[in-house]
Structure 1
């Protein structure tokens, strides 16, 4: 038999539930005060414990909303149901990257460092949560096959400083680094950053004429080899070409400076 807690006790302690089937928790006064300061004259419908955060469910301008606060009473984010038309930059991104997916739900998410849309997409058994700003910058992606990851504000700020005017990019988590894929001057580029926002390197797809010194080296050292792909790589304090060579079953990746001085040659196992 279920034990029924007195209604007065539930109200006084602001428990998330009055049912033994759910975990009971207490919302500290500091958390409630933080909510009231953030949203004066708003009434919380229900509090929930969401991991290490306290989540308040309420109505904001007549629309359902949820606000998260940490244990110190700091506001983390607010998600509000969104029913309007998405900005053109967002719609274009969805059309280009997720054709055939159905939009299940949209939230407008406000955070201290930025605001963005959270879009739940579905195609068959595949579901994706996409966080994207109004101007089309991808912040976070999570799906059934890969874990969620969030781009630190330090990374976003440094990218914006390094590549002003670039607002369309796709982020990936690659080992300890965050990698942005984007187009600059009609060239495909990739830039890597540490979690602290330190730039690691940039690779730019290269389709032009290689420097004569590089061409001379290739002709003398790798006669008969075909160039499969070339990237121009920039790292702190250096810049060079990364060239993929192929001849029959022999494949190599060569890195070389503009003056023809070789950095290294390694077999291409891909």
Structure 2
């Protein structure tokens, strides 16, 4: 947890007071409208520090001894807040899902609650075991929507883009339920539930225009027998060559569909890309895919 250490703050208090004027001079100055929007939403917080992040202004602040971050548009429209919270403050549904999940024995390193302007709320649990680290993202009902070994800062999406991407998703997947929307790698990634399956829909953002790039979802091991014959043969060939198959993901794109097979090959994690007819397209180390 990123909880402040009181005694350390007291020890450094004199230094902090002496350097306060200099720190104030270095801090980003924001407009009166933006400051008023923040003060109205968070009237009793301390240690507010502003930073410009792309098209947003991020306010880092302390509340009840925990660090939090809030994002606003330049004209003062709130879009997202990330709260640092203790595990015990997670909804019971999320706690139960974690305790009965695959990572229950891992050490919990940090817990965050993320509120967004579209009224959605997600919970993020960072866990570690030895040298491995994962970020687990849950909905309020305990649904695990993402588990990632590599992640960056959570970045909000503007209200206008949120509305636009919702329309695009509904056009392509009219029966889908949107679970989460987040900026990802220069575009926008949407988690959806469609036909009883959880999918990730990725839209590229270029010159202010969103365009669909791909949709992907995980193939469960019990489904391997239903895969196209060529893909089943590719899986058999990989296993026969001594590689261990970890995961299989299906990708739907404008130019054709393919499967991404994650394998462990002599201690190295690799991605093998296979066409629907079983043709091997390419192989890459996971870290460079």
Q: TM-score, normalised by structure 2?
A: 0.49
Aligned with 2:40: secondary structure?
helix
Conservation of the 8 A alpha-carbon contact between 1:103 and 1:119: yes
The partner residue of 1:32 within 26, 31, 35 is 35
Conservation of the 8 A alpha-carbon contact between 2:83 and 2:114: yes
1:228, CA displacement in angstroms?
A: 4.5
For residues 156 and 67 of structure 2, what CA distance do their matches in structure 1 show?
27
Q: Do structure 1's residue 121 and structure 2's residue 130 form an aligned pair?
A: no
**What residue number does 2:138 align with?**
132
**What residue number does 2:111 align with?**
106
| Residue pairs, 1:139-154, within 5 angstroms | 141=148, 145=150, 147-148=152-153, 153=162
* TM-superposition CA deviations, 1:47-86 (whole Å, max 9, x none): 21234324152548x9875433343322232233434244
Unaligned runs of 5+ in 1: 11-15, 219-225, 245-251, 257-264
For residues 21 and 68 of structure 1, what CA distance do their matches in structure 2 show?
20
Conservation of the 8 A alpha-carbon contact between 1:44 and 1:56: no
| Residue pairs, 1:14-93, within 5 angstroms | 17-19=20-22, 23-39=26-42, 42-52=43-53, 53-55=57-59, 57=61, 59=63, 65-82=68-85, 83-89=88-94, 91-92=96-97
For residues 37 and 118 of structure 1, what CA distance do their matches in structure 2 show?
26
The partner residue of 2:212 within 190, 195, 198 is 198
Residues 111 and 176 (structure 1), Cα distance of their counterparts in 2 relative to 1, 3 Å cut: closer
For residues 157 and 139 of structure 1, what CA distance do their matches in structure 2 show?
23
Residues 266 and 177 (structure 1), Cα distance of their counterparts in 2 relative to 1, 3 Å cut: farther
For residues 21 and 125 of structure 1, what CA distance do their matches in structure 2 show?
39
Q: TM-score, normalised by structure 1?
A: 0.52
Residues 84 and 157 (structure 1), Cα distance of their counterparts in 2 relative to 1, 3 Å cut: farther
Residues 17 and 59 (structure 1), Cα distance of their counterparts in 2 relative to 1, 3 Å cut: same
- Which one has the bigger helix percentage? 2
Unaligned runs of 5+ in 2: 1-13, 205-209, 236-247, 262-272, 284-289
1:19, CA displacement in angstroms?
A: 3.8
The partner residue of 2:225 within 207, 211, 215 is 207
Q: Over aligned residues, Cα RMSD in angstroms?
A: 5.4
Residues 74 and 181 (structure 1), Cα distance of their counterparts in 2 relative to 1, 3 Å cut: closer
Aligned length: 220
For residues 127 and 74 of structure 2, what CA distance do their matches in structure 1 show?
31
Range with greater deviation from structure 2 (27-36 or 83-92): 83-92
For residues 121 and 82 of structure 2, what CA distance do their matches in structure 1 show?
10
1:34, CA displacement in angstroms?
A: 0.8
Conservation of the 8 A alpha-carbon contact between 1:18 and 1:24: no
Conservation of the 8 A alpha-carbon contact between 2:106 and 2:128: yes
Conservation of the 8 A alpha-carbon contact between 2:201 and 2:215: yes
**What residue number does 2:241 align with?**
none
Look at both structures and tell me which one has the larger radius of gyration over its CA atoms. 1
